[in-house]
Amino acid sequence: MTGAPAWNTFERRMREVCDLEAVGQLLVWDEQTYCSKRGHDTRAFQQAALASLVHERVVDGAYGEIVDELAESPNGLSREHRAMVRVVKHDRDRAVRLSPELVRALAAQGSRTNAAWEQAREERDFNVYRPELEKMIALKIEQADALKEGDERYDAMLDAFEPGMTTAELEPLLDGLRSELVPFARRVLEAPAPDDAVMRQHYPSDAQWDFSLEVLRELCFDFDAGRQDLSSHPFTGGPGPTDVRLTTRVNERFLPMCVLSTIHEAGHGLYEQGQNPAYLRTSIGRAPSLGLHESQSRFYEHVLGGSEAFWEHMLPIARRYFPTQLDGVDLTEFVRALNRVEASAIRVNADEVTYNLHILLRFELELALIRGELAVADLPEAWREKMTSIVGYTPKDDVEGVMQDIHWSWGELGYFPTYTLGNLYSAALAEAMSADLDIDQAARSGDFRSILDWLREKVHSRGYVVQGEDLMREVTGRPLGHEAFMRYLTERYTRLYGL
């Protein structure tokens, strides 16, 4: 089969797979929001059946022949069509190395491990979680062994989230960041911290929820193409750019939890809604890497959402929802309180100075798990030791410690480094954006559309035509590094803390 018939067959199968994967995303979202407790077991069977169906479609031999043919003879294909073939071939080459039994087992175990994680958190007992997590880690090691190109299992995990990146590239990048970040974080932590009592008043849940929706509208999130709900761990999912599902969570005694979670997930959601319509239901209608996706949430949450200019516009709006709590609160003091730096337990609530320290410990632990150097049974103690030595905080229990994140329950090992990559990318993007528009002036005037338009043109609409690092190099003119991020942190926190 050659020419147009080959392409038409390829396109039909590619779109079918994208549609099935979108259904899977909807099932995951429902499981984290509205699925009943007793529904998790049956959801595991549904996820396994769907994953098996997708796997069968992807590894089909006849389809593989067409993919290989188009990859080897791309004459007549547009740049975008060649990219679609390249991405499908990459994903298919991974899929054919996995047995249908392993694919089903991973999908089913994800639901079971997640259910055990939820129960263990409620009962504050790691031993409830441990057996299911051990099964998941064993399956992930089996998966890595099937996928790895060389001796490093973790490369296979990274490739699922950061295609093209290797452990050998990532480790020195994180070491370089660590060498500058750790002493800088210590300087900030040793300085007098701002009073954040304004953030720790009673903020009613209903008012926080309503304010979070107002924030989303201000940031130009399209509610005709998405929604927000509550979950125990904020995330963004959904079937695609015309139906984006955000979640947030509320703490009535700590305003930033809901506000910053909403702004963070808005960054993800705006990226999804900004995908090129021409790429809908294709292999390139997505971000080229999770790090690049994370750059959008980190940009919105911190670069924009932590700035005084942003709150010069948003604080008067917030006062409408919290008139008693915010009456007479000074803008500068509010922003200093919002950006308070402290060694703390929970990653998703961590300030941006210490946040990457949380990622470093997770990277080290999951690397050891995948290499077989650390047993699941030893995770709680290993977590406590690294939290104390790296972050400077000792968890009170395993809910504050090893059970705070959902990622390992889903089998997402190799995911955590994308958060740090997102921080590095976000600072580099902010520097590039500043050359074209005044970010502070746009935020101060509530002109979030101009910021979004820049991101839509430079990042969102580009899809997965090129890999993440290549796209960032095009937009910023620089290779991946930690320098822009450290410049950003140094400027902001030297000013906020009077260093």
The tens digit of pLDDT for each residue in 104-123 reads 899 899 989 999 999 999 99
Q: What percent of the chain has pLDDT over 90?
A: 90
Summarised one tens digit per residue, pLDDT across range 474-488 is 999 999 999 999 999
Report DSSP letters for 229-273, one per residue: EE-SS--EEEEETTEEEEEE---TT-HHHHHHHHHHHHHHHHHHH
C-beta separation of 232 from 403 below 8 A: no
Tokens 């055990």 label which residue? 116
| Average of per-residue pLDDT across 179-184 | 93
| Average of per-residue pLDDT across 57-66 | 95
Closest to 175 (Cα-Cα) out of 379, 354, 356, 296: 356
Q: How many CA atoms lie within 13 A of 106 on its CB side?
A: 23
The CATH code that applies to domain 167-497 is: 1.10.1370.30
Summarised one tens digit per residue, pLDDT across range 356-373 is 999 999 999 999 999 999
Summarised one tens digit per residue, pLDDT across range 437-456 is 999 999 999 999 999 999 99
Task: Give the pLDDT of residue 164.
Answer: 87
| Average of per-residue pLDDT across 334-349 | 92
423 has a pLDDT exceeding 70: yes
- Model confidence, pTM: 0.90
**Residue ranges per structural domain of the chain:** 3-147, 167-497
Task: Give the pLDDT of residue 1.
Answer: 57
3 has a pLDDT exceeding 80: no
Summarised one tens digit per residue, pLDDT across range 368-414 is 999 999 999 999 999 999 999 899 899 999 999 999 998 999 999 99
Summarised one tens digit per residue, pLDDT across range 261-274 is 999 999 999 999 99
320 token code pair: 């409408």
Task: Give the pLDDT of residue 349.
Answer: 80
| Average of per-residue pLDDT across 181-193 | 94
Q: What average pLDDT does the structure give for the chain? A: 95
Identity of the amino acid at 240:
G
90 has a pLDDT exceeding 90: yes
Summarised one tens digit per residue, pLDDT across range 147-162 is 998 899 999 999 999 9
**265 given a catalytic annotation:** yes
Task: Give the pLDDT of residue 237.
Answer: 94
Summarised one tens digit per residue, pLDDT across range 29-51 is 998 899 998 898 888 889 889 98
Task: Give the pLDDT of residue 44.
Answer: 83
Alpha-carbon span 70 to 91, nearest angstrom: 15
| Average of per-residue pLDDT across 10-26 | 96
299 has a pLDDT exceeding 90: yes
Q: What is the DSSP letter of 405?
A: -
Q: Go through 100-118 and write b for each residue having 16 or more CB atoms within 10 A of its CB, e for each that does not.
A: eeebbbbbbbbbbbbbbbb
Which secondary-structure segment (H or E) carries 228? Answer: strand 226-230
| Average of per-residue pLDDT across 73-79 | 90
2 has a pLDDT exceeding 70: no
124 token code pair: 């504050």
Say which of 118, 132, 265, 301 is annotated catalytic: 265
Confidence of residue 74 (pLDDT cuts 50, 70, 90): confident
Task: Give the pLDDT of residue 4.
Answer: 84
For the four alpha carbons of 341, 403, 422 and 485, in that order, the dihedral sign comes to positive
Q: Go through 396-435 and write b for each residue having 16 or more CB atoms within 10 A of its CB, e for each that does not.
A: eebbbbbbbbbbbbbbbbbbbbbbbbbbbbbbbbbbbbee
Task: Give the pLDDT of residue 279.
Answer: 97
